[in-house]
Amino acid sequence: MLEALKRHPFAVDAYFEQSLVYTYALPLDRVQPLLPPYLQADSLRNTWGFVTAALVQTRNLRPAGFPAWMGRKFYLAGYRIFVRFKTRAGKNLRGLYILQSETDKRSMCWLGNLFTHYRYSLTDIKHVQSNDEINISTVKSGLDIEVSNLEMYPDLPVGSPFANWLEACRYAGPLPFTFTWLPHTSELLMAAGVRQHWQPWPMQVNRCQVGFLQQPAFDGAILANAFAVEAIPYRWKKGITERWNP
C-alpha cells in the first residue's frame, strides 16, 4: 500500500509565481553513468550532457480538482538531469531524471516523500528581490545565487557550450516529463507536466554557488544558462509506469 502511494497516484495543480532554472554542462561521458540503463542523457552535439538546478516559488499547490484556496504555498528546489526515453510503443520522450528535491516546509517534505520518489529533504531558503535583482540563499544546502533581469539578452555564461540563447532555451526546463527509477521493480515512473504561457527569459548571473553540485560527480560542471519564468499555471499528471526489459 505504501509503495502504491509513492507512485504519484493523482494529478497535482500549482501556480508558479516564479521559477529560476540554472543549467550546468558536463562531458557526456560524465553524465551518462549517473543514469539508469534505460535512460539516455539528452546531449548537445553528442558531446555535452546537462544537469539543472530549479528554484520554484509555488502557491495553491493541491490535488487536481480541489479549489485553489485549499492549496499550500511552498518553495521547491530540484536537481535533475536532461534525458530522453524511448517507450516500448516507440515514442521518444524528453524529460528530466530526478536526483534530489528540497523544500522549505516540513509538511511538503513529508507529503512529497509519501506520494513520490522525488527524494525530498528539508532546507532553509531565503529569497530577496529588489528591482531587477534576485538573491536566493540557504545555509543548510550551501546555495547562494544572485541574478539580474536585464532589458536585453545578457551574454551567455563564460564557457557555455551553447552557440546562442536560442539553442540554450532548449535546456531551460521543465520538460514534458519527469522520470523516476524504481529499482526494486525495474520500472520507470513517468509524470507528464502541463503548463501554460511558458516564455523563459535569459538572466544575467552575478553569482551562482550550488551546494548539491559540489559532489565529486559534478566536478568541473560549467554554468551553461540561466532562465526565469513567472505566473505559470502548472499541472503534474498522475504517474504511469513502464517496466524496463534489457
Beta bridge partners of 179: 97, 190
DSSP H stretches of helix in the chain: 2-5, 28-31, 106-115, 165-168
pLDDT in tens, the chain (246 residues): 567 788 889 999 999 999 999 999 999 999 999 999 889 999 999 999 999 999 999 999 999 999 999 999 999 999 999 999 998 888 999 999 999 999 999 999 999 999 999 999 999 999 999 888 999 999 999 999 999 998 889 999 999 999 999 999 999 877 889 999 988 888 899 999 998 778 899 999 999 999 999 999 999 999 999 999 999 999 999 999 998 665
Exposed/middle/buried for 107, CB within 10 Å: 0-12, 13-18, 19+?
A: exposed
For residue 112, give its domain range. 2-243
Number of domains making up the chain: 1
Q: β-strands 72-86, 177-182: how paired? A: unpaired
Which triple of cell numbers denotes residue 14? 500549482
Euclidean distance between CA atoms 26 and 81, whole angstroms: 11
CATH assignment at residue 226:
2.40.400.10
CA dihedral 163, 166, 168, 172 (to 10 degrees): 180
Which pTM value belongs to this model?
Answer: 0.94
